[in-house]
Amino acid sequence: MSGTRQATVSDALNEAPLSAFHTKALFTSGMGFFTDAYDLFIIGTVTTLLATQWHLTTSQTGLINSTTLIAAFVGAFVFGRLADVLGRKRIYGLLATIMTVGALASAFAPSFMWLVIFRFVLGIGIGGDYPVSAVIMSEYSNRQNRGRLVGLVFAMQAVGLVVGPIVGITLLGAGVNHDLAWRLMLGLGAIPSAAVIYMRMRMPESPRYLERVRGQSERAVAAISSFSDGTVTASEAPSKVQRHMGVLSFLTTPRYLLYLVGTAGSWFLFDYAYYGNSVSAPLIVKGVLGSGKHPIIQVLSIDLIIFAVAAVPAYYLGAFFMDRIGHKRLQFIGFAGLVGVFLLIGAIPGVTKDIAPFMVLFGLSYFFANFGPNQTTFVLSGEVYPVSQRTTGHGISAGIAKVGAFIGVYLFPVLDKSLGLSGIMLLVAGFSALGFLCTFLVPEPAGRNLEEVSGDTDLELEVVRRAEEIVSAGSQDSPGDVPAPVAEKVS
C-alpha cells in the first residue's frame, strides 16, 4: 500500500452531478422520515382525546407523549452502532418494519400501559432511522449539494407534521367517534413506512462504506453503477484503506470527542426546547385561547395554520440555501433567532394571553427552529465523523438529543403549572443560547468533500504510515491487512 490516497468511488460520488439516483435515495430515506415525524408528533393530538376518554393524569399524559422519544434514544444508539458494524443496508429495511409494527400495534392498544409499550417499540425504530437515513443520504451525496439533499430528507418532517393535524381535523370534522379517531390517527402512521420496506431492502449498500470499511472496491463500484443506472462510474481502489475503531477508542479520540460535544450537545439543547413546544402545541394553543371550552378542531386548526405558514417554508428554505449559507452558519442563525423570539414571548407582559401577537411570535420560533438547528443538527451529525464510525457518531448525537426531547415533553405539563408559559419560554431561550455556543465545536462542512470534513483522509494516511512501520519492523502482516488495533489507536 502506498502513501497516496486512492478513493475513486468517493471521488466519483463527491463530484457526481445531481441526477435520478439522488432522487431515489432521497425518496427512500425521506419516506421513512415522514413516518418518524408523523408518529412522533401525532401523539400530542391523540393524548388530547385520550385525556378525557381514559381519565389520564398529567403524568400519564406526559409519559405517553414522551415514551417514543426515550425509546428513540435506545434505538439511535443501538442501530447507529450496528449500521457501522454490519452495514447500512442490513438494518435499513428492518427499521421500517419495526416502525410499521409499532404504529399498527399502538392503534390497537387496549389500555394506557399497552399504549406506552407499543409506542416504545415504535420509538426504537424511529431512533434507529435517524442515523441510518441521514448517513445513507450523506454518503450518496456530492459535496456541492450534500446539505440540500440531506436537508430535504429531514424536510419530510414538515410533511408529516402537516399531515398529522389534517388527519385529525378530517376525522373529527367527519364526526368519527373519538375512540376510533385516535386509533386511526396512530394506525395511519404505518402506511408510509410499510411502503418503503421493499425499496430499502433493494437499495444497495453505501459504496463509501463498502470501499473504505469493507475494502470491497469491486462491490462498491458495482453498487454505485447499479443504483445510478450507470450514470455515475468509478474505478476500483487497489486495497483496503480504513478499519473500525472500537467505540471506546472513538469516544476517547480528542477530535471526535469534541465533535460529539458539539453535535450531541447542540442537538440535545435544541430538542429540549423544540419538542416540548411542538408535541405540546395543542396544550399551548388551548392555554392561549383561555380557560373556556374550545373544540379540539379549533385548537388543531390554529396550530396547523401557525405551522404551515411559518415552519413549512423554513424547512425548504433551509434545505435549499444550506450549502450556500453554510451548514454551521445556518445553525448559528437559527439558534440566535430562537433566543430572541423566546425572550420576547417570555418577557413581554400579556403576550401569552393574546392570540394574535402570540401566533406571530410562536410562528417565528417555528421558522428559526426549522431554518436552522432542527435541520442542521441532523445534517452535521452525518458529516463530521469517519465512515467507519459515522452512524455511531450520528446515533450517539441523535440518541442524546432524544433524551432532551423526552425531558422537554415530559416536563412541559409540570413546568406549565409551576412556571407558566412565559417562564417556560425564558427557560428554552437559555437552552437555545447554550446550543449556539456548542455549535462552535463543529467544523464547517459546506462545499467540502465528506472525507476531508470527517478526517477520513488523515485517518487513512496514518493507518498507511503505521502499516509501513510494522512491515519495516519485520511484521508478517501484509500492508493491505492492517490489524484492527492499528486503526483503533489512530486519533
Crossing angle of helices 178-187 and 20-53, rounded to 10°: 160
Quote the pTM value. 0.84
pLDDT given at position 278: 62
b vs e for 196-213, b when ≥16 Cβ sit within 10 Å of the residue's Cβ?
bbebbeebbbbbbbbbbb
What is d(CA 208, CA 219) in angstroms, rounded to the nearest whole number?
10
What is d(CA 383, CA 133) in angstroms, rounded to the nearest whole number?
13
CA 244 from chain centre, in angstroms, equals 23
Average pLDDT, the chain: 83
Q: Is pLDDT larger for residue 456 or for residue 110?
A: 110
pLDDT given at position 347: 86
Q: What is the pLDDT of residues 132-189, one digit of tens each?
A: 999 999 999 999 999 999 999 999 988 888 888 888 888 988 889 988 999 999 999 8
Domains and CATH numbers, the chain: 9-452 (1.20.1250.20)
pLDDT band at 465; cut points 50, 70, 90: very low
Q: What is the pLDDT of residues 295-335, one digit of tens each?
A: 667 777 777 888 888 889 999 999 999 999 999 999 999 99
Residue 318 grid cell: 433551509
What is d(CA 138, CA 146) in angstroms, rounded to the nearest whole number?
6
Compute the average pLDDT of residues 38-63.
86
Q: With a cut of 80, say whether residue 228 has pLDDT above it.
A: no
Q: With a cut of 70, say whether residue 475 has pLDDT above it.
A: no
Decide: 183 and 51 in contact? Cβ < 8 Å: no
Q: With a cut of 90, say whether residue 444 has pLDDT above it.
A: yes
Compute the average pLDDT of residues 329-350.
92
Nearest residue to 401 (alpha-carbon basis) of 446, 435, 370? 435
Query: Could you give the percent of the chain with pLDDT greater than 90?
Result: 40
Q: Is pLDDT larger for residue 243 or for residue 221?
A: 221
